[in-house]
Structure 1
């Protein structure tokens, strides 16, 4: 009987010897062991896994050829990935942020292992990225993708394990405050329990007081076996005593390639494995189909832990709690968030995770799940998780129901041109440090021959999405809007129709996570009064009470102080030209964000229960074009 030919790489003699000596590998039994593991996989209704020879062999090697351990490890590998929805997004391979982070050299696998049969060496430099440009989720996504590549392509990693070297030069409080304890714990647990590779040891140098605070807390959360392998070096010589200098990059005086060369090779490797990574979306677990019932990850792995009680002494804000990966609020806004929204700092991690877990279980919903995005919906719903679920579902369902506002929502010449017209502008300063943001709408300034009202509102939704992520005043305290009807003529009025106004009313009330505090109308003529009458008829009673028509500016100033308005309105809140320029730069910086955003939404065919559509969401037909304008 001829031997079965396996599709796998041959090992070097040194690695083959080590596999036999330390991993219990018997070359003659490989085909039988792989076949046994593959047969078991096919009997698991909940598990959709890769089944190539090389992939399965790596799990056998990672478990020293214990078939039972390999089965459990494979199951854990896919199960634990479900706890990392922010990271388990292989479409990130096409995101420009991935290439930008790789080019910073934050996470790099060095070309040469430690000895011919030794571990792969991974260099981490977390102080090399700008916390204002990237967040910890972005960095961990890159690590996640690189691990998937090296899992299938690097034999030293599988047989010899891997060694981490962490250079914390430049690591600051801004970096530390981005650390999401819950996310980091899940990621570390996934590496330890789910990946078929062994961490040999971790070496940290160029550490300072900020690192020490992080390290002291990390040790409380990670498995004891992993912590025992941590070594902190006070000097570079101490590091070189543990890791021979020649195995370090040339930039550190070693012989293991240069940082620049390694970055270039990493970029090329990502391109080579692009299709492999994109194909990863086809694999995972369906707990509803698991024999014996779903796994309870919280019970089995204790995933509810966090750094909630981390006390970073010596920092000027005396922060007692590091939240998930969200910006810390100013003291004034933090106080208002607790008093008016019911925000409990110690519970934010759990509330975000509860919302994220719900999203993962919705077959129809493909949503962003990063912390900053989710906390916006929690704050907008005053921490009612159930209301936040409904609003988030509506937010994405609207994309299919209102295609005129969400289709082709890209940062292009038209969007920039509309922004430059200053038809809509969030002003730079809120009404107070702990007050709402001020919006200015001027519907009489855009060219009705070039753009429709849908075009205008589409750009407004883009600015709103940026505010959801960036504007803490708007998300905690809501917004006040000044609507100036100066210049509005028949051409503008003709663009308003009942259907669009109704959709906009529902969108603002049921889908957007920030709260309107008041709408203040100025320069209102008789035709504009009819627009207002129509708009009010579509609003809830609560919103109607927030409509205010001002006969003059003095009346407006009683609600919004004069100094809170732009210079063009007699105030000192910047100029419209400067505000437009600031928002133009911000919108351009979100170009890739909106390109990526096109992939999110709902698939109503997969929704449990009645699908959402325009009729169920809005229930209105009609046009404002038939309105008689005297």
Structure 2
């Protein structure tokens, strides 16, 4: 039962339906844009009955259009991402033209909101944004069982959501960020597979990446690992976990600003320490483990935490609001499955990457297996 205090939140989330309609209009006419580019040397006057193409309209004009950003957000974008109107428009045009002309891409969205995911994640370096887009499509192509068909109404995925394994708090924190709650108790390893778990994460991030405010401010994560057992760890194939871990950090255009963990079992700390050694120093410094909920509450706004974690709103109410948000983005998220990467030849590889440190190499896998064994031993002891 949702209380009256959340009506404003629901009303704000309903704006995404309008945004989706605009996205759909532009996405449907990508092929027309391609034809127009090919006929650039033989221009003609547009037939009035011909649909408006992407070059003739803007889906989102942040400074006075359909979905304007606030002045404070524009300042954050300028300070942290080097974003201003001129940079944004020029970068969007370059990236959009690259997508349209790239023969390895098929049915890839070209609306502002989608392309800005990658530009903002890479602080408007167009070449880096291009690489991230290719890697994003490649991870979806390589792990389709985990990253596609992200329908929150699909029974298995719906149950993971209903149990509250992962959801975004409806309120933003003091930095304007959405707070992603991960509640390990909400995942039953006897009922839910690693695929179910991964799909819940992909769905959450795809939904949140559709919001331009979140693209700018980034995400805060809060993970409660109470109730984690051996089954949670052994649910994953070590090799697949290693690949997902490595590719996920490089491929998803997300700004992970803070990661707060509580109730972490001693054996799981070994895994976390191991993972920290394989991420950037920036990411490593953003991950904090707390000894108690009281310590956590000093760092994360209470309004963004469930009542069960010392916050103000019951977890069940947060979950219901999250389901409404997923419903509003359902068609948009499912539509991403139309995007195809026909070849990965354009992806630049890390030729100097040390195999000993590689998170896909045998050393990584063997250490994951060792951690699983330690977890089992700890439980039996």
Please give the range of the TM-score, normalised by the shorter of the 2 chains: 0.7 to 0.9
Whole-Å Cα distance in 1 between the matches of residues 29 and 120 of structure 2? Answer: 30
Q: Does 1:475 align with 2:215?
A: yes
Post-superposition Cα deviations, 1:593-627, rounded to whole Å, max 9, x if no partner, equal 344322213122x7358899xxx996334363453
Partner secondary structure for residue 140 of structure 2: helix
Partner secondary structure for residue 94 of structure 2: helix
* Aligned equivalent of 1:466: 207
Which residue of 334, 337, 345 maps to 1:607?
345
Conserved? CA contact 2:206–2:333, under 8 Å: no
Change (3 A) 1:349 1:444: same
> How big is the shift at 1:374?
0.6
Post-superposition Cα deviations, 1:224-246, rounded to whole Å, max 9, x if no partner, equal xxxxxxxxxxxxxxxxxxxxxxx
Change (3 A) 1:384 1:142: closer
Mark the structure with the bigger radius of gyration. 1
Change (3 A) 1:329 1:508: farther
* Aligned equivalent of 1:528: 268
Conserved? CA contact 2:183–2:224, under 8 Å: yes
Structure 1, gaps ≥5 residues long: 1-129, 149-182, 201-302, 311-318
> How big is the shift at 1:196?
7.8
* Aligned equivalent of 1:397: 138
Post-superposition Cα deviations, 1:290-331, rounded to whole Å, max 9, x if no partner, equal xxxxxxxxxxxxx99989xx9xxxxxxxx9x446xx732122
Conserved? CA contact 1:444–1:492, under 8 Å: no
Change (3 A) 1:137 1:561: closer
Whole-Å Cα distance in 1 between the matches of residues 218 and 27 of structure 2? Answer: 32
* Aligned equivalent of 1:628: 374
Once the two structures are superposed, the pairs formed by residues 20-419 of structure 1 within 5 Å of their partners are 132=18, 134-136=20-22, 138-139=24-25, 193-194=43-44, 197=47, 321-322=63-64, 327-366=67-106, 367-411=108-152, 412-419=154-161
Structure 2, gaps ≥5 residues long: 1-15
Which residue of 562, 580, 584 maps to 2:319?
580
Post-superposition Cα deviations, 1:90-136, rounded to whole Å, max 9, x if no partner, equal xxxxxxxxxxxxxxxxxxxxxxxxxxxxxxxxxxxxxxxx9726544
Normalised to the residue count of structure 1, the TM-score between the two structures is: 0.48
Which residue of 154, 161, 168 maps to 1:426?
168
Conserved? CA contact 1:505–1:539, under 8 Å: no
Once superposed, what is the RMSD of the aligned Cα atoms?
A: 3.6
Whole-Å Cα distance in 2 between the matches of residues 618 and 360 of structure 1? Answer: 33
Whole-Å Cα distance in 2 between the matches of residues 385 and 440 of structure 1? Answer: 32
Conserved? CA contact 2:169–2:322, under 8 Å: no
Post-superposition Cα deviations, 1:498-553, rounded to whole Å, max 9, x if no partner, equal 43443343344211212111221111222322332333243223212222111112
Partner secondary structure for residue 338 of structure 2: coil
* Aligned equivalent of 2:308: 568
Conserved? CA contact 2:169–2:180, under 8 Å: yes
Whole-Å Cα distance in 2 between the matches of residues 536 and 144 of structure 1? Answer: 41
> Is 487-496 or 371-380 further displaced after alignment?
487-496
Q: Does 1:505 align with 2:245?
A: yes
Q: Does 1:516 align with 2:262?
A: no
Change (3 A) 1:528 1:360: same
Whole-Å Cα distance in 2 between the matches of residues 565 and 497 of structure 1? Answer: 32
* Aligned equivalent of 2:3: none
Which residue of 275, 278, 289 maps to 1:538?
278
* Aligned equivalent of 2:8: none
Conserved? CA contact 1:430–1:473, under 8 Å: no
Change (3 A) 1:497 1:538: farther
Normalised to the residue count of structure 2, the TM-score between the two structures is: 0.76
Post-superposition Cα deviations, 1:399-438, rounded to whole Å, max 9, x if no partner, equal 2233342244334122211111111111111212x43221
> How big is the shift at 1:142?
7.1
Partner secondary structure for residue 448 of structure 1: coil
Change (3 A) 1:504 1:143: closer
Whole-Å Cα distance in 2 between the matches of residues 494 and 345 of structure 1? Answer: 49
Whole-Å Cα distance in 2 between the matches of residues 196 and 509 of structure 1? Answer: 44
> How big is the shift at 1:143?
8.5
Conserved? CA contact 1:364–1:602, under 8 Å: yes
Whole-Å Cα distance in 2 between the matches of residues 142 and 439 of structure 1? Answer: 32
Partner secondary structure for residue 185 of structure 2: coil
Whole-Å Cα distance in 2 between the matches of residues 408 and 588 of structure 1? Answer: 14
| Residues matched between the structures, number | 339
Q: Does 1:440 align with 2:326?
A: no
Relative contact order (C-alpha < 8 Å, sep 6+): which is higher? Answer: 2
